[in-house]
């Protein structure tokens, strides 16, 4: 009997285990990362778990996460799809993982997660790390054209030259730069026009190169144009000096820069005549007008304004050059005149009075008072 009950117990345990196993979600299969040759956009795909439950019983979803190795955060996507094209930094290892999420009648309404499956990918490394170009910088001028510049790598053989290639969602293939900036016959930069289709998307860029017999390490990067925008300086800066305050008005720069995407910094300086004017921060704002109160007006002699992309349109951007105007000189002269005129006037009036008194005294002394000189 003891044996029988032990048997029963083991059977029960086995059943419980099996039941809970059938409740657990099975992991997806065959996670793969492949490179379609688009300089950073990789295809990630997987197969559904082997034992998919009946559709009317449970919904199968996936939690897909990916990152370039070294990133602290994974990017997370909840999906029912089995394939994604997502952006990675090809100079690092691409990492992806996916798990099944099961929910419905088959799980009594609670969400059940499977184990993760993982995959990694990296492009075959060519050339030595020190041969990669350095100081790669890009600026998106007026939302009209992009300039990127670089310097040759530290360990670059003679006769090396560079090429810049790019791709964004909307182009069929990778495109090479057609307007290089050169220094002593070597490509050290590129100017790209007509990129409006690439705004607010990932623009994948690769700068690679070759020397006679050596391969150079390519540089891969992903640009976001709206974060690289540099507007032209604000236009038509006008200072109006009113009785109570100084009114500063300007216009947004022309060109393709969206006026609603700009913010401005205003600075004022007391002495623009000095070699090093002491510029003091006044305001950062989106409006194109500012009133500086009279208390400060007497000190302000110059005002300058610059613009950049505001936080509603981008995470970051570059400041434009300054636009500057001064008003103080005429105001100071006016003030001096206003002080001088009363002084001169009162001086001359006193002089005239003194002279008249002197004349009257002379006349009375001469004993010949005249009619009509009662004014004395």
Ligand X SMILES: *[C@@H]1O[C@H](CO)[C@@H](O)[C@H](O)[C@H]1NC(C)=O
List of residues contacting ligand X (CB under 6 A):
163, 165, 174, 194, 197, 206, 208, 210, 268, 282, 292, 295-296
Please provide the distance, in angstroms rounded to a whole number, between the alpha carbons at the two ends of the chain.
148
Q: Whose Cβ is closer to ligand X: residue 97's or residue 217's?
A: 217
For residue 87, list its beta bridge partners.
Answer: 41
Q: Minimum CB separation from ligand X for residue 318, in Å?
A: 24
Distances (CA, A) of 227 to 67, 141, 215: 21, 11, 32
Q: Whose Cβ is closer to ligand X: residue 46's or residue 327's?
A: 327
For residue 149, list its beta bridge partners.
Answer: 137, 189
Measure the CA–CA gap between 344 and 338, rounded to whole angstroms.
Answer: 10
Q: Minimum CB separation from ligand X for residue 332, in Å?
A: 18
Q: Whose Cβ is closer to ligand X: residue 65's or residue 199's?
A: 199
Q: Minimum CB separation from ligand X for residue 225, in Å?
A: 14
Q: Minimum CB separation from ligand X for residue 97, in Å?
A: 27
**Which tokens go with 314?**
């981008």
Q: What would you report as the CA-atom Rg of the chain, rounded to the nearest whole angstrom?
A: 39
Q: Whose Cβ is closer to ligand X: residue 268's or residue 302's?
A: 268
Q: Minimum CB separation from ligand X for residue 194, in Å?
A: 4
Q: Minimum CB separation from ligand X for residue 269, in Å?
A: 10
Q: Whose Cβ is closer to ligand X: residue 113's or residue 147's?
A: 147
Could you tell me the sign of the dihedral formed by the alpha carbons of 75, 79, 82, 85, in that order?
negative
Q: Minimum CB separation from ligand X for residue 219, in Å?
A: 10
Q: Whose Cβ is closer to ligand X: residue 65's or residue 144's?
A: 144
Rounded to whole angstroms, the maximal C-alpha distance in the chain is 162
Q: Whose Cβ is closer to ligand X: residue 65's or residue 265's?
A: 265
Strands 134-141 and 145-151, by their bridges, are antiparallel
201 in helix, strand or coil?
Answer: coil
Q: Which of 254, 253, 241, 248 is nearest to 266 (CA)?
A: 248
With b for 16 or more beta-carbon neighbours within 10 A and e for fewer, the 347-369 pattern comes to: eeeeeeeeeeeeeeeeeeeeeee
């Amino acid at each position: 009997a003891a044996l029988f009950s032990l048997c029963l117990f083991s059977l029960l345990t086995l059943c419980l285990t099996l039941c809970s196993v059938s409740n657990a979600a099975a992991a997806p299969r065959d996670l793969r990362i492949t490179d379609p040759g688009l300089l950073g956009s990789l295809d990630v795909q997987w197969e559904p778990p082997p034992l998919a439950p009946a559709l009317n019983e449970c919904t199968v979803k996936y939690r897909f996460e990916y990152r370039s190795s070294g990133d602290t955060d994974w990017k997370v996507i909840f999906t029912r799809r089995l394939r994604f094209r997502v952006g990675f930094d090809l100079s690092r290892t691409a990492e992806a993982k996916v798990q099944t999420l099961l929910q419905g009648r088959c799980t009594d309404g609670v969400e059940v997660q499977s184990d993760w499956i993982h995959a990694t990918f990296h492009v075959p490394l060519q050339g030595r790390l020190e041969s990669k170009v350095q100081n790669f910088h890009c600026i998106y001028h007026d939302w009209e054209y992009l300039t990127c510049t670089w310097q040759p790598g530290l360990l670059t053989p003679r006769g090396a030259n560079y090429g810049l290639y790019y791709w964004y969602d909307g182009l069929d293939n990778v495109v090479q730069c057609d307007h290089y900036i050169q220094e002593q016959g070597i490509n050290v930069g590129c100017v790209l026009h007509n990129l409006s289709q690439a705004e607010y998307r990932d623009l994948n860029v690769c700068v690679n190169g070759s020397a006679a017999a050596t391969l150079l390490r390519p540089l891969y990067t992903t640009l976001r144009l709206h974060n690289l925008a540099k507007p032209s300086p604000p236009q038509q800066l006008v200072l109006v000096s009113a009785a109570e305050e100084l009114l500063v008005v300007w216009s947004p720069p022309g060109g393709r820069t969206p006026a609603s995407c700009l913010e401005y910094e205003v600075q004022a300086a007391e002495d623009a005549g000095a070699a090093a004017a002491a510029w003091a921060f006044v305001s950062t704002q989106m409006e194109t007008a500012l009133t500086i109160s009279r208390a400060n007006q007497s000190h302000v002699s110059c005002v300058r304004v610059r613009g950049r992309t505001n936080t509603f349109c981008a995470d970051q951007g570059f400041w434009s050059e300054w636009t500057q105007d001064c008003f103080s000189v005429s105001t100071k002269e006016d003030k001096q005149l206003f002080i001088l005129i009363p002084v001169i006037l009162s001086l001359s009036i006193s002089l005239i009075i003194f002279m008249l008194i002197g004349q009257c005294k002379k006349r009375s002394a001469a004993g010949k008072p005249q009619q009509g000189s009662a004014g004395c």
